[in-house]
Amino acid sequence: MHNFIDNKKGFSLVEFMIAISILAIGLLALVGLQSTSIRGNASSKNKNSAILLAEKKMEELKNTAFTSLSIGTTNDLNNPLTSSDGSGGTFNRSWTIQTYSGSANMKQITVTLSWTEGGIPHSTSLDTVVAN
């Protein structure tokens, strides 16, 4: 007669359950990492869109005649903006033009974009100086 207990090879039910538990914990960690990655990508997309909108307005203002640049703060008429510069989005754009260091021949331009993401306000701004 053969002794079947000594010749059995394979995994017991306890070993299988432990392996499945370890695998489940690892997969749950990956799900958390995935959601963090998605939020980070959305945040980066919004920041990139805001910078592009600020650059677009900055270039427009830099190409405006020096004498047409009025001192003061202006809010974009299309606020809130979409990432493609249309109205109805999430970004608010404004720009401030002021005399630079008391010189009548230089003006400082600051373009600011603000938006809310996940209930948290964010903003970015660009500055430049133009001369007559």
pLDDT tens per residue, range 34-72: 888 988 888 899 999 999 999 999 999 999 999 999 999
* Domain contains 3: no
Residue 121's domain comprises: 10-131
* Domain contains 16: yes
Token look-up 């650059």 returns 55
Alpha-carbon Rg for the chain in angstroms: 29
* Domain contains 2: no
Confidence at 7, pLDDT banded by 50, 70, 90: low
* Domain contains 4: no
* Domain contains 101: yes
Q: Report residue 8: phi and psi, to 5°.
A: -75, 135
**Domain tally for the chain?**
1
* Domain contains 27: yes
* Domain contains 56: yes
* Domain contains 15: yes
